[in-house]
Amino acid sequence: MKSAVIAIGGNAIQGPKEKPTAEVMRKNLETTASYLVEALDGMNVVITHGNGPQVGNLLVQQDLAKEKLPPLPLDLNDAYTQGMLGYLIVQALENQLAKKKIERKSAALVTQVVVDKEDPAFKNPTKPVGPFYSAEEAEKLSREKGWKIKEDAGRGYRRVVPSPQPLDVVEKDLVKQLIEQGVITVTVGGGGIPVVRKEDGTIEGVEAVIDKDRASSLLARILDVDIFVILTGVEKVYVNFGKPNQKALDRVTISEASKLMEEGHFPAGSMGPKIESAIAFVKATNRQCVITSLEKVSEALEGKSGTFIIPD
């Protein structure tokens, strides 16, 4: 049976202009699950997801309530959202499986991902979390709260936090066991809970958010899956995106993709980590990664849609 890691995009959970309510997330994930269940027939699959907006919202809530309850560190907020979103995704999947009378189970596994405590990301935060702000709001939050805030790909301003490189998945053997039994497994949610290994062999959480595409790529390599799928808001990757001469890409070698990255076609706050993660998977496995939209996932798995990153 073929295997895949499928990283679902943020719009699958909450659109950029939607209210961050439970009802919105449930409705979006119902749609997401219907596309996924249709695409996953006959495949062993791991589903990963982001958590940036949800972590950001928790940080806002905790800041507002800090006089009554102490705010939680980022690793606990990562765990909080990983469990919450895992529950919602699994419930949506199970409901779609029942509707289609498909005899299959799904499960969510809270996952820790190892990072290096000396990773330079801790001195240079870059990972956007939370809502978008205007320039005026961003300046005020930076001044009042000491947040590091950056402009995000022309969409507004967001808080940025450390985003270290993922090195290992603590629960990888459990993930392997689940998918080998045919369980649709939701894991490495939000890039996983960032932890470091201490000299005595123990682990502890750190204040960071791991990019979910990088963590998903690492997991895809560890599991040695047949294909790595990254779902985003567009059917294909573009060069000169948003400009009159924009062009969709169908099949790109890792060398070509690397060159386009160097030329600045893929911003760090949007498509950059996806291309980087795709290249890492293809280079390590000599297999393919496809980047496409949720609506085109079935066609992409058949090779009929999306942008494929392929070996040289």
pTM attached to this predicted model: 0.89
The full set of domains in the chain, from first to last, is 1-116+171-225 (3.40.1160.10), 230-312 (3.40.1160.10)
For residue 246, pLDDT beyond 90: no
Does position 154 have pLDDT exceeding 90, yes or no? no
Residue 38 contacts residue 302 (beta carbons within 8 Å): no
Mean pLDDT of the chain: 92
| Strands 184-186 vs 43-49: parallel, antiparallel or unpaired | parallel
Task: Provide the pLDDT for residue 118.
Answer: 95
Greater pLDDT, 127 or 91: 91
Catalytic center residues: 10-11, 127, 212, 274
Tens digits of residue pLDDT in 199-222: 999 999 998 889 999 999 999 999
- pLDDT tens track for 44-76: 999 999 988 888 889 889 888 988 998 898 899
Q: What is the dihedral of CA 98, 49, 5, 118, to 10 degrees?
A: -150
Residue 44 confidence (pLDDT): 94
Q: What is the identity of the amino acid at 292? A: T
Partners of residue 280 on adjacent β-strands: none
- List the beta strands (DSSP E) in the chain: 2-8, 43-49, 106-108, 112-114, 127-133, 149-151, 157-161, 168-169, 184-186, 193-197, 203-205, 227-232, 238-239, 247-248, 251-253, 288-293, 307-310
Please tell me the predicted confidence (pLDDT) of residue 249. Answer: 94
Identity at 252, one-letter amino acid code:
V
Distance CA 12, CA 293 (A): 10
Q: Over the stretch 77-99, which tens digit does the pLDDT of each residue have?
A: 999 999 999 999 999 999 999 99
Q: Which residue is associated with the tokens 């936090």?
A: 161
Candidate from 51-55, 110-114, 275-279 with smallest mean pLDDT? 51-55
In 134-221, which ranges are E strands? 149-151, 157-161, 168-169, 184-186, 193-197, 203-205
Nearest-5° Cα angle at 169, 61 to 261:
80
Biggest CA–CA distance in the chain, Å, is: 57
